[in-house]
Amino acid sequence: MRLRSMFAKNYRSLRSIRMDLADTTLFLGENGAGKSNLYRALQLVQAAVRGRLAYELASEGGMFSALWSGTRRKSDGPARIRLEVEIVDEERAITFRYYVEAGLRPPIDAAGFALEPQIKAEELSVEAGRRAVTMMKRAGPGISVRDAAGRMQDYPDEAMTSENAIALLGDAGHFPEIAAFRRIVSNWRFFHGFRTDRASPLRHPCLAVTSPMLDEDGANLAAVFATLAHTRQDTFELDRILASALGGARLVVPEPLETAEFGLMLPDFPHRVFHPRELSDGQIRFLGLAAALLSYRLPPLIALNEPEASLHPDMLVPLADMIAEASKSSQVWIVTHSVQLAEAVRERCGVRPRKVIRENGATWIEGMRLTGAIAGEDDDDD
């Protein structure tokens, strides 16, 4: 399942932007260009699928903060954030298309709280032949859904202003296409900076539960390492990259009992294991990235927002090595302002960085056409 394209309109600095996406997509730009808004827009699609879009928008300051604040024309219509994705199941030749719109409560509308983000419209369509078939459509509180006989029917329950129809229908358990789309998007992973303070989950043992994939906050880091070491019994690639990035350090993972733990053995102190609470911010952050990119099972999409933060420059090439390894089985999305990291990823993955710029106040991709294609991106990159 591959994310083929995305579209965002009226979200923060994203006035209206559509992009075709590759197996590895690399965004490079200066601070303030809007790179993180691209990342966040994709994350909000996942929030919608999980039924939390209104909550996530409220948590970042509400609609007044999230809406495009630049010049608007009367012809633009209602002030709404619109997010769209297109996902392709290449094995079965099926394309899923989903969009969601959120806005503010009209002044005369009594439903919902005065300033809360409201879900205005949603639609999921599936294309498996010559034309796309609408599987679910929501306008205001009303929901229509295609039944097992192929007919569009009114769903008996109306959606509240803060609810996402796709989450309501997915939880109902009667609509396999909706459930399949939700499962794909829900399994995406977004890593936008691990905590590295003393109370960080990365620095503490966790319950000894087999963990094929890293949680977004890194709370099961020790269990991910234990799963690689004692379930898969293969840490060759992990050991190689950690040694390269951390000056020859070796990961030590005891067989877990009630809790899983790990430590590092450093070349200068060959008889002592350094526990996570003793490691530097850069060391512990790199270990989190290693678990995210080299875990037993990888998610369909891994999104990294400025993964170079707090890392020593010597760690950037090993980070690019991990990204290249993960890209063999996952779609990878990287947002960075590090030219060194971007160049290392380009060399290993054969992708050109997409330069994020500000154009008339809006975030844009240098050289991108209005269709979302990037000029010269399909050319051979020698």
Residue 367 predicted with pLDDT over 50: yes
Where does residue 50 rank: exposed (0-12), middle (13-18), buried (19+ CB within 10 A)?
middle
Residue 76: both structure tokens together: 């633009």
Exposed e or buried b per residue across 357-375, where buried means at least 16 C-beta atoms within 10 angstroms of its C-beta? beeeebbbbeebeeebebe
* 19 sits in which H/E element: strand 14-20
Greatest distance between any 2 Cα atoms in the chain = 72
Is residue 65 one of the residues assigned to a domain?
Answer: yes
Is residue 80 one of the residues assigned to a domain?
Answer: yes
> pLDDT band at 77, cuts 50/70/90?
confident
| Same domain membership, residue 289 and residue 225 | yes
Q: What is the pLDDT of residue 295?
A: 97
Does the CA dihedral 354-358-363-366 come out positive or negative?
negative
pTM assigned to the model: 0.92
Q: HSE-up of 140 (CA within 13 Å, CB side)?
A: 6
Residue 223: both structure tokens together: 């269990």
| Same domain membership, residue 276 and residue 131 | no
| Same domain membership, residue 208 and residue 126 | no
Three-state SS string over 71-107 comes to CCCHHHCCCEEEEEEEEEECCCCEEEEEEEEEECCCC
> pLDDT band at 376, cuts 50/70/90?
low
Question: Taking the CA atoms of the chain, what radius of gyration do you get in angstroms?
Answer: 22
> pLDDT band at 248, cuts 50/70/90?
very high
Is residue 243 one of the residues assigned to a domain?
Answer: yes
- What is the spatial distance between Cα 43 and Cα 175, in angstroms, rounded to a whole number? 24
Residue 315: both structure tokens together: 């760690």
Q: What is the pLDDT of residue 109?
A: 58
* 274 sits in which H/E element: strand 273-274
| Same domain membership, residue 224 and residue 327 | yes
Q: What is the pLDDT of residue 129?
A: 79
Is residue 305 one of the residues assigned to a domain?
Answer: yes
Indicate the range of 99-108, 229-238, 278-287, 336-345 predicted with least confidence.
99-108
- Please report where in the chains the tokens 């890593």 appear, as a residue: 191
Among the three residues 166, 188, 210, which one is the final residue of a domain in this structure? 188
Q: What is the pLDDT of residue 261?
A: 97
Structural domain boundaries, residue 7: 2-22+34-188
Q: What is the pLDDT of residue 69?
A: 79
Q: In CATH, what number is assigned to the domain containing residue 15?
A: 3.40.50
Residue 288 predicted with pLDDT over 90: yes
| Same domain membership, residue 174 and residue 272 | no
Q: What is the pLDDT of residue 381?
A: 45
**Percent of the chain topping pLDDT 90:** 81
Is residue 372 one of the residues assigned to a domain?
Answer: no
Q: What is the pLDDT of residue 306?
A: 96
| Same domain membership, residue 205 and residue 142 | no
Q: For 140-191, how does the pLDDT look when each residue is reduced to its tens digit (9 = 90+)?
A: 999 999 988 889 999 999 999 999 999 999 887 789 999 999 999 999 999 9
| Same domain membership, residue 252 and residue 340 | yes
Among the three residues 188, 218, 243, which one is the final residue of a domain in this structure? 188
Indicate the range of 77-81, 131-135, 160-164 predicted with least confidence.
77-81
| Same domain membership, residue 283 and residue 154 | no
Q: For 202-223, how does the pLDDT look when each residue is reduced to its tens digit (9 = 90+)?
A: 999 999 999 999 999 999 999 9
| Same domain membership, residue 206 and residue 135 | no
Look over the chain and give the mean of its residue pLDDT values, rounded to a whole number: 92
Q: What is the pLDDT of residue 173?
A: 75
3-state secondary structure of 241: helix
Instruction: Indicate the number of domains in the chain.
Output: 2
- What is the spatial distance between Cα 81 and Cα 101, in angstroms, rounded to a whole number? 5
Among the three residues 188, 221, 251, which one is the final residue of a domain in this structure? 188
Residue 13: both structure tokens together: 């600095």
Is residue 256 one of the residues assigned to a domain?
Answer: yes
DSSP string, 27-79: EEE-TTSSHHHHHHHHHHHHHHHTT-HHHHHHHTT-HHHHB--S---GGG-S-
Q: What is the pLDDT of residue 382?
A: 42
Over residues 292-311, mean pLDDT:
96
Contact 323, 348 (CB under 8 A): yes
| Same domain membership, residue 137 and residue 12 | yes
| Same domain membership, residue 155 and residue 128 | yes
Over residues 302-327, mean pLDDT:
96
Instruction: Residue 207: name the closest of 228, 229, 224 by CA.
Output: 224
Q: What is the pLDDT of residue 114?
A: 64
Is residue 370 one of the residues assigned to a domain?
Answer: no
Most confident among 63-67, 193-197, 298-302 (mean pLDDT) = 298-302
Is residue 357 one of the residues assigned to a domain?
Answer: no
| Same domain membership, residue 173 and residue 110 | yes
Sequence-distant (6+) residues with CB within 8 A of 6 are: 18, 19, 21, 41, 42, 45, 83, 84, 85, 86
Over residues 246-264, mean pLDDT:
96
> pLDDT band at 112, cuts 50/70/90?
low
Return the higher-pLDDT residue of 260 and 171: 260
- What is the spatial distance between Cα 289 and Cα 66, in angstroms, rounded to a whole number? 29
